C-alpha cells in the first residue's frame, strides 16, 4: 500500500472521528434525537465499513 493511500485512510479516519463526535454531541444536547451512545456507535460503524472498503480496494 502506498504512502498516499495510507495518508488518505488516516485523514478519513480523523474526519470520521470528528463527525462521530459531532453527532454524539448533537444527540447529547437534544435527547429527543436518540440515545447518544447508540448514534455514535452506528456512525463509527459506518465509517469503519467505508475505511474497510477503501483498504480492500487499494490492495488490489
Mean pLDDT of all residues in 20-41: 83
**Grid cell locating 35:** 440515545
Task: For residue 40, give the DSSP letter.
Answer: H
Contact 6, 37 (CB under 8 A): no
Place of cell 451512545: 37
Place of cell 447508540: 38
Place of cell 472498503: 53
- What's the pLDDT at 60? 67
Residue 41 CB: number of other CB atoms within 10 A? Answer: 13
Q: Is the pLDDT of residue 33 over 80?
A: no
Place of cell 448514534: 39
Q: What is the pTM of this model?
A: 0.64
Amino acid at each position: 500500500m502506498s504512502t498516499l493511500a495510507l495518508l488518505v485512510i488516516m485523514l478519513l479516519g480523523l474526519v470520521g472521528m470528528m463527525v462521530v463526535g459531532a453527532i454524539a454531541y448533537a444527540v447529547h444536547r437534544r435527547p429527543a434525537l436518540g440515545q447518544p451512545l447508540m448514534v455514535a456507535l452506528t456512525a463509527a460503524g459506518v465509517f469503519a465499513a467505508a475505511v474497510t472498503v477503501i483498504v480492500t480496494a487499494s490492495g488490489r
